[in-house]
Amino acid sequence: MNMLKTALVAVVGGCIGAGALEGYRYAMQRGGASPSTAQLQSIIRDYIVSHPEVLQEAMAEFEKRQQVAEGEKARSAVKNHSDLIFNSPRQVVIGDKQGDVTLVEFFDYNCGYCKQALNDMAALMKADSKLRVVLKEFPVLGPSSVEAAQVATAVRMQDPTGEKYLAFHHKLLTSRGQADKAKALAVAHEVGIDMARLETDLASDEVKASIEESYKLAEQLGMNGTPSYVIGSEIVVGAVGLATLKEKVRAARCGGTASC
C-alpha cells in the first residue's frame, strides 16, 4: 500500500507539473496575470483529460526511478556488509574458493523454489570453473526448517572442505517430504558424518550464532524469502533461472555490465 501511495503521488505530481506549465504558458501568451488556483486546477484537469498518456509516462518514470533507487540501496547494503556476506567463517564455500566472482545463496531446506534452483546452481558451477559459491542457511519456513538448518550447521562445523556438507545439502534438498531434524540427521548419517560429534555440536552456541547471523544479514539486505542471492554487488531475489544467474555472474565479472 505504501508503494502504491507513493506511485500515485508521483503520478499526480508529474501531471500537475505538466499541467501547471501549460497553464502558465497559456496565461503568459495571452498577456494576462498568472491563473488563480481554481483556474489552474481547471487547466490541469483539462490537460490530463486531453493528454491521458501523461499518466502512463509518469508511472513509467516513477518505476524507472524506483528501480534505480532500489539498485543503489542494494549495492550500498552489500558494500556495507561485504565482509559478512562473502567472508564469514560461519558459511560454506564451494566451487573455486579463489574464484573471481562470488555468488551467495540464502536458502531454506523446505523451500520448493530452492529445490528447483539446485539444478541451476549445479549447472552454473559446472559451466563456470571460476565461480566461488557461498551457501548460507536461512530457515524462514517454520520450526522444521530451523531444525534442518541447525543440523546442516553442525555438519558444516566438522567438514572444513565442504565436500560432505555439499553431499548432505544435495540429498536433503532433493529429498521428498518435509525436511526436519529427523530427516536431516538421517541424511547426515548417510553421507558419513560423525554422529556423536554432531549431537555435541548441535547443542553448541555456534549453531545458534550461525543462523542468527544469517537472519540479521538478510534483514540488512532487505531479504525475506528464499532463494535469495548476492552476486557481485547485486541482490537477486527468487528462483530466477539458469540464464539469469549466468547473466548476473557475467555482469559481476565485467564490472557491472552485461557484456565485456
pLDDT in tens, 154-198: 999 999 888 999 999 999 999 999 999 999 999 999 999 999 999
- Print the SS3 string covering 153-188: HHHHHCCCCCHHHHHHHHHHHHCCCCCCHHHHHHHH
pTM of this structure: 0.74
Which residues lie below 8 Å from residue 15, measured CB to CB, with a gap of 6+? 44, 47, 48, 54, 55, 58
Domain extents for the chain? Answer: 2-64, 83-253
Q: How far apart are CA 148 and CA 167, in angstroms?
A: 15
Q: What is the DSSP track for 125-148?
A: HHH-TTEEEEEEE---S-HHHHHH
Q: How far apart are CA 117 and CA 243, in angstroms?
A: 12
pLDDT for residue 30:
52
pLDDT for residue 8:
41
Q: How far apart are CA 163 and CA 37, in angstroms?
A: 72
Are 240 and 225 in contact by the 8 Å Cβ rule? The answer is: no
Residue 18 has pLDDT above 80, yes or no: no
pLDDT grade, residue 76 (50/70/90)?
A: confident
- 212-230 pLDDT, tens digit each: 999 999 999 989 899 999 9
Q: How far apart are CA 51 and CA 44, in angstroms?
A: 10
CA-atom Rg of the chain in angstroms: 26
CATH of 83-253, one of 3.30.460.10, 3.90.1150.10, 3.40.30.10, 3.20.20.70: 3.40.30.10
- 19-58 pLDDT, tens digit each: 445 545 555 555 556 667 787 788 878 888 888 887 788 7
Sign of dihedral through CA atoms 14, 15, 17, 22? Answer: positive
